[in-house]
Amino acid sequence: MEQLIRSGSWRVGERIPAEPELMQLFHVGHNTLREAVQGLIHAGMLVARPGDGTYVTAVDRLDAALDHSLQYVEPESVLQARLAIEQAVVELAARNRTPEDLERIRAAWGTCCARAGHGIEDDLAFHAAVADAAHNPLLSRLYRVIAAYLSRQFTTALAERQYDPAALQLHVSLIRALEDRDPAAARQVVERIVEFTVEK
């Protein structure tokens, strides 16, 4: 089960198959399966929702542990960490991005602009695509966990400001900086994006 989560076969936010299907898939009995599921729940990779099912909450134990530890850190410190990581991410993305990375970033941006899904999740997907373009897996993971945590904390504010013209323009400016391979410009834009996120 952990391997299915790590590989992306079971994605964060998705419900895993029901017990009978899992028992058949892994050729194990009821007790063995329950112990395995409980182990991943305790590790923070799964969460059980009574009457609904069991959902994936983290890609692996490291992500789960980091997400859990963020609950005990002052929000200001988390915001500072996000800014520091995102600055590093966009600088690397501006240097390392490939044409394929740009295609994925533009596609994610198109999804944001279409407003067809959940705005905050679409914005996270856009920034995750930027993080992937840095080609540093550890920085990308750290960014995803911190950004997802902050999005949960600022859900109301972000939902209200998601499509503000100024916010949209900042994202367009970030794409241009990546296209131009301009790390300094990308860093400046992302500083403004983070400021905009928490402005009252």
Token reading at 156: 């109301």
Q: Quote the percentage of the chain above a pLDDT of 90.
A: 48
Residue 11 pLDDT > 80, yes or no? Answer: yes
pLDDT class for 162, splitting at 50, 70, 90? low
Own/partner pairs, 101-110, CB within 8 angstroms, 24+ separation = 101/129, 101/132, 101/133, 102/133, 102/175, 102/178, 102/179, 104/129, 104/132, 104/133, 105/129, 105/130, 105/133, 105/175, 105/178, 106/175, 109/171, 109/172, 109/175
pLDDT class for 199, splitting at 50, 70, 90? low
pTM more than 0.85: no
The reported pLDDT for the residue numbered 200 is 47
Of the candidates 21, 25, 20, the one whose C-alpha atom is nearest the C-alpha of residue 3 is 25
